[in-house]
Structure 1
Amino acid sequence: MSGPLKGIRVIEIGTLIAAPFAARMLAEFGAEVIKIEAPNDGDPLRKWRKLHEGTSLWWYLQSRNKKSICVNLKSAEGVDVVKRLATDADIVIENLRPGALERLGLGWDVLHGINPKLTMVRISGYGQSGPYRDRPGFGAIGEAMGGIRYTTGDVDGAPARVGVSLGDSLASLHGVIGALMSVLRVKTGQGDGQVVDVSLVESVFNLMESLVPEYDLLGHVRERSGGALPGIAPSNTYRSEDGGFVVIAGNSDPIFRRLMQVIDRDDLADDPALTHNDGRVAQSAMLDAAISAWTSRHSTSDILAALETAQVPSGRIYSIADIVADPHYAAREMLLQTSLPDGTPVRMPGIVPKLSDTPGAVNWQGPTLGEHTDPVLADLGFSPLEIEQLRNTGAVQ
């Protein structure tokens, strides 16, 4: 493994999305990620969404660069394996229900006592404290209670969801940020490891811009607005003559003038009442109608060409087929050509962010269940006989 996180050891005790996605990002940049999976079935993500030869394609992406060891955490011997891993680990990432690790004998007090330098990232629905602490929480609930579902959808329609697991992914990103801040504190000698407490609800809520002061000071509740961006105008989705949809963001003062000139509305470009955003917001419906009148008379390609020439931010809405065919994605190495363990060629998403000197890398796709159990245990000092004994007792698989 190489990368800026080379030498960082991560223990992942999680399933499905939030903790595994956080660990995946660390693994892509050089961290040694040891994923602990339950015997027999492992992470349920292995069977989620579309499968190839019985294994989820999402699994191969979510678990790339990770080592899989199969440990029975319900056995004392299995718990001891995790404790030995923790002695020289830098980060533990988990997304079990609050209190679950404590019941297994692997809570923060125990692991911190073994390794004071350890950082523990704990991702849960509502956080490790508070009256909702013990409620089960999935990403969809985080999106609902974090505020984003209420503001998403058509004006007169029901709240809508984004078509991916947004709440989980946002929690993962917050977990990575917190983990790196904590490890930096340790590595620079400023203190010991600490708990990074990440809530799905709070991770979504952290994106909700000025909703709180708008409500607290003005009593304003931001409602659903379809494709528009509330309080910022003009910024919306407009239909073209050929039935396509184009997103146009003409919401800075100079960009607005250029947009109005493109659509042959110099009268609006020169209107002093529309010079600044607050004036445009007051007449956003009129501006959307003017822009729609123009887009409805032109093809999607002509609209985008005209707006690009005028330096007005715009773009058509991409499906995955559009993404895969787009030359910019290819040029940015966002579509990596790789292969599955059986040799089947497949493209996978590239790595974000792009680092100039120490870029991330994909060294292997998601491993088979328990693929690295023996070498990881040997690295911890277990003899072949001890590993066989652990296997015979069911502590490892």
Structure 2
Amino acid sequence: MSGPLQHIRILDFTTLLPGPYATMMLADMGADVLRVESPSRLDLVRVMPPHDRGVATAHSYLNRGKRSLALDLKQQECVETVKALVRDYDVVVEQFRPGVMDRLGVGYATLREINPRLIYCAITGYGQTGPYRLRAGHDINYLALAGVASYSGRAEGGPPPLGIQVADVAGGSHHAVMGILAAIIHRQQSGEGQFVDVSMTDAAFSLNAMAGAAALGADHQPGPESDVLNGGSFYDYYRTADNRWLAVGSLEPQFMQELCKTLGCPELASKGLSPKPEHQQQLKQTLRERFAEQPLEHWQHVFADREACVEPVLTLREASEHPQLTSRDMVIEVDRGDGEKQRQLGHPIKFSETPCQSRFAGRVLGADNESVLQELEEHKSK
């Protein structure tokens, strides 16, 4: 095992996407992650299509590098097993609604009595406090309440259901990882563990970086296609002759000048740099017309060596084969457990001295029960 977290041990009680993504990142960074799952309440990600040789690809990816322990926490002996395990673990991550782990007998108050250095991270939709703390929700709900959806999409079409789960991953998962790592540093300095409360709605609200600063600081309330970065300017996507798309982000003067020069309309560069909506719409219409004249391949060739911030909208398959991503090891092969390999997304953080490793794909439920319980017995006997 390698990676900067190779001495950190994590008990993972999470399911679905946010928690498993967070603990997968930690496992890639070397943490020893033991996933504790119910044998009777199946994680839906385990059965979600599509499958590769009978195993859900989402499960294989989200739970790679983690051992699996099947425990029914409604059984007292299983609760006692968790209490015994937590003595030698650094972090607990869970994703139940507030109070569930307490009712099961393995909440923070109980576990910190056993291990005062324990870092306990709870990922929920709305956090441990507030009137919505017990309310059900999913990614689309968190983005709606956080204000993100209100200025996304088209003025006529409304907010889009995004292709990625922003509140779950950029919100819950990434903020959980940050919180856990910060708590580990604090414990190294003080010897104290602590409770880390991550709300996906809070995290999504904090992602309103530019628009949120304007709304709170200057009472500027954005709507769809109202601002420079959300479709209100030329900064947008444009359809090509073969029904593909180009992303145009030529915001700085030198990029705008190169864009207009390449398209044969250098006189329009001043309009692209103008804050006036009518100038932006004039340029935008010209870009629509020009890009619609040729297929995507043509424009890729034209802009290949031009610094104009124009790039093709790639499919996931095309992106996985792009030389920039492949050169960065963003597509890797992971041991599937049957002697074969599965292609998966690579880890995005590159360490010079402690590189990440994706050791094996998500395992069968309870695959490590025997070895984990044997380790526990050996430890008790010492």
TM-score by length of 1: 0.88
User: Which residue of 2 is the match for residue 30 of structure 1?
Assistant: 30
User: Which residue of 1 is the match for residue 67 of structure 2?
Assistant: 67
1:7/1:219 CA distance change after superposition, 3 Å: closer
Superposition deviation, residue 55 in structure 1: 2.6
1:190/1:339 CA distance change after superposition, 3 Å: closer
1:253/1:376 CA distance change after superposition, 3 Å: same
The residue type equivalent to 2:373 in the other structure is: L
**In the alignment, which of 334, 337, 357 is matched to residue 330 of structure 2?**
334
CA contact (8 A) 2:151 2:230 kept: no
User: Which residue of 2 is the match for residue 127 of structure 1?
Assistant: 127
Does 2:176 match 1:180? Answer: no
CA contact (8 A) 1:33 1:67 kept: yes
> For the residues of structure 1 that align with 2:302 and 2:226, how far apart are their CA atoms?
25
CA contact (8 A) 2:68 2:367 kept: yes
1:312/1:20 CA distance change after superposition, 3 Å: same
Superposition deviation, residue 281 in structure 1: 5.4
Matches within 5 A, 1:245-256: 245-256=245-256
CA contact (8 A) 1:94 1:123 kept: yes
Matches within 5 A, 1:259-338: 259-269=259-269, 271=270, 275=273, 279=275, 283-338=279-334
User: Which residue of 1 is the match for residue 114 of structure 2?
Assistant: 114
1:291-322 Cα shifts (integer Å, max 9, x gaps): 22322223323323333332111211111221
3-state SS of paired residue (1:294): helix
> For the residues of structure 2 that align with 1:336 and 1:314, how far apart are their CA atoms?
27
For structure 2, the residue ranges without an aligned partner over 5 or more in a row are none
Higher deviation after alignment, 59-68 or 253-262: 253-262
For structure 1, the residue ranges without an aligned partner over 5 or more in a row are 387-397
Does 2:368 match 1:372? Answer: yes
User: Which residue of 1 is the match for residue 16 of structure 2?
Assistant: 16
1:246-279 Cα shifts (integer Å, max 9, x gaps): 001111122112212222222233x4x765xx62
> For the residues of structure 2 that align with 1:26 and 1:358, how far apart are their CA atoms?
13
> For the residues of structure 1 that align with 2:262 and 2:276, how far apart are their CA atoms?
17
Superposition deviation, residue 135 in structure 1: 1.0
> For the residues of structure 2 that align with 1:329 and 1:212, how far apart are their CA atoms?
31
Percent of pairs identical after alignment?
Answer: 28
1:121-155 Cα shifts (integer Å, max 9, x gaps): 11001000011111123223212222222333222
Aligned length: 380
User: Which residue of 1 is the match for residue 198 of structure 2?
Assistant: 198
User: Which residue of 2 is the match for residue 208 of structure 1?
Assistant: 208
CA contact (8 A) 2:331 2:345 kept: yes
CA contact (8 A) 1:231 1:281 kept: no
The residue type equivalent to 2:174 in the other structure is: L
> For the residues of structure 2 that align with 1:212 and 1:295, how far apart are their CA atoms?
33
> For the residues of structure 1 that align with 2:265 and 2:108, how far apart are their CA atoms?
63
The residue type equivalent to 2:108 in the other structure is: W
3-state SS of paired residue (2:68): strand
The residue type equivalent to 2:114 in the other structure is: I
1:225/1:192 CA distance change after superposition, 3 Å: same
1:383/1:311 CA distance change after superposition, 3 Å: closer
> For the residues of structure 2 that align with 1:226 and 1:41, how far apart are their CA atoms?
46
User: Which residue of 2 is the match for residue 391 of structure 1?
Assistant: none
Superposition deviation, residue 80 in structure 1: 1.3
> For the residues of structure 2 that align with 1:375 and 1:124, how far apart are their CA atoms?
31
> For the residues of structure 2 that align with 1:202 and 1:85, how far apart are their CA atoms?
31
> For the residues of structure 1 that align with 2:163 and 2:230, how far apart are their CA atoms?
21
User: Which residue of 2 is the match for residue 392 of structure 1?
Assistant: none
TM-score by length of 2: 0.91
Superposition deviation, residue 191 in structure 1: 4.8
> For the residues of structure 2 that align with 1:150 and 1:197, how far apart are their CA atoms?
26
CA contact (8 A) 2:240 2:246 kept: yes
3-state SS of paired residue (2:151): coil
1:347/1:239 CA distance change after superposition, 3 Å: same
3-state SS of paired residue (1:283): helix
Does 2:85 match 1:85? Answer: yes
1:292/1:363 CA distance change after superposition, 3 Å: same
**In the alignment, which of 346, 349, 353 is matched to residue 350 of structure 1?**
346
1:186/1:197 CA distance change after superposition, 3 Å: same
